[in-house]
Amino acid sequence: MEIADPRIDPKLVPEGSIAKVMNGPRNEYHDLPSVITPRPAVITRWTPTEEERLRILGGEDIYVTLVGLPINPLFVTVGPVDWNEIV
């Protein structure tokens, strides 16, 4: 999957949300464009490749790996939603 620009319609995120490129404390990770909400919640956007889309269509599952503990709740959607109601 490719990391995509997460620009979101401002009406879909809580007031005070900001765009930010996330990275590790020592820049040890790839840049992760995101939108940070006041709660805080981090919204990112990913674009499956054509091969991945075909595999999903064929029934393959999507795996999400969270590194480190404790883990926080995770909310996965297909397409944008109104994050005002969720985060």
- 12-23 pLDDT, tens digit per residue, is 999 999 999 988
pTM, two decimal places = 0.79
Closest CA to 1 of 53, 36, 57: 53
Q: Which tens digits make up the pLDDT trace of 55-75?
A: 999 999 998 888 888 888 888
Report domain extents, the chain: 2-85
Percent helix / strand / coil, the chain, rounded to 5: 15, 25, 60
pLDDT attached to residue 36: 92
